[in-house]
Chains A and B, each alone.
Chain A
């Protein structure tokens, strides 16, 4: 079974530029998550989709971050304009909608460096 795919793996941009990340979840997984992991910290949830609807985006900085999941499969996360503090690894995860034990499967992440 193929895992969660993310691209690009690395991205270096200058502040105020725009950047987009792509995620393809495991086939059949209805729930998709985007996390931000700053160096030395645990992942922080940015947004959660169930199919193509947003379940939780309470920690998404909406003035500069946006995300969409068209057709309930692939997803993109965009930052516009980027700030220095956005330097982090952006992780995508997916899970079945099932019961109370939520096993999330993570992709390898995109490492963003903002100069």
Chain B
């Protein structure tokens, strides 16, 4: 069974601070995705990382895939209240199956 562990599970910080969320597994994934989910809505894809060591940036969000394709991190610079939400990492198994971590609930306080 392939499992993804996210840490921390909860994070509450002040606007303007930086933060990093981690996603770890003992399994290798062909690629890894990060989603954000807001209350009452389904997850929305933020990014897919494919190559070991890959780094992708999405405005103030930086995503990194570990060299061995077993772990990933999400770094947010100068967090804003609009970044509040549940962040989910998901490992891609085979061609189309996703295995999700338990999520990190992020709260940015004004």
* CB-based contact A106/B42 at 8 Å: yes
* CB-based contact B97/A108 at 8 Å: no
Partner of B92, one of A55, A102, A105: A102
Measured between alpha carbons, how far is A55 from B33 in the docked complex, in Å?
21
* CB-based contact A44/B42 at 8 Å: no
Partner of A100, one of B4, B31, B40, B42: B31
* CB-based contact B92/A43 at 8 Å: no
Residues of chain A within 8 A of B6, CB atoms compared: 42
Given contacts A41-B102, A42-B101, A100-B92, 17 further A-B contacts (CB under 8 A): A4-B42, A42-B6, A42-B102, A43-B88, A45-B97, A97-B96, A100-B50, A101-B31, A101-B48, A102-B96, A102-B97, A103-B48, A104-B98, A107-B42, A108-B41, A109-B40, A109-B42
Residues of chain A within 8 A of B48, CB atoms compared: 101, 103
Q: Does B44 lie at the interface of the complex (its beta carbon under 8 Å from any beta carbon of A)?
A: yes
Residues of chain A within 8 A of B102, CB atoms compared: 40-42
Residues of chain A within 8 A of B16, CB atoms compared: none
- Chain A residue with Cβ nearest B9: A40
Name A's B-contacting residues (CB within 8 A).
4, 31, 40-45, 48, 55-56, 91, 93, 95, 97, 100-109
Q: Does B65 lie at the interface of the complex (its beta carbon under 8 Å from any beta carbon of A)?
A: no
* CB-based contact A100/B95 at 8 Å: yes
Q: Does B11 lie at the interface of the complex (its beta carbon under 8 Å from any beta carbon of A)?
A: no
Q: Does B63 lie at the interface of the complex (its beta carbon under 8 Å from any beta carbon of A)?
A: no
Chain B, 1-54, CB within 8 A of any chain A CB: 4, 6, 30-31, 33, 40-45, 48, 50
Min CB–CB distance A76 → chain B (angstroms): 18
Measured between alpha carbons, how far is A46 from B63 in the docked complex, in Å?
28
Measured between alpha carbons, how far is A19 from B97 in the docked complex, in Å?
26
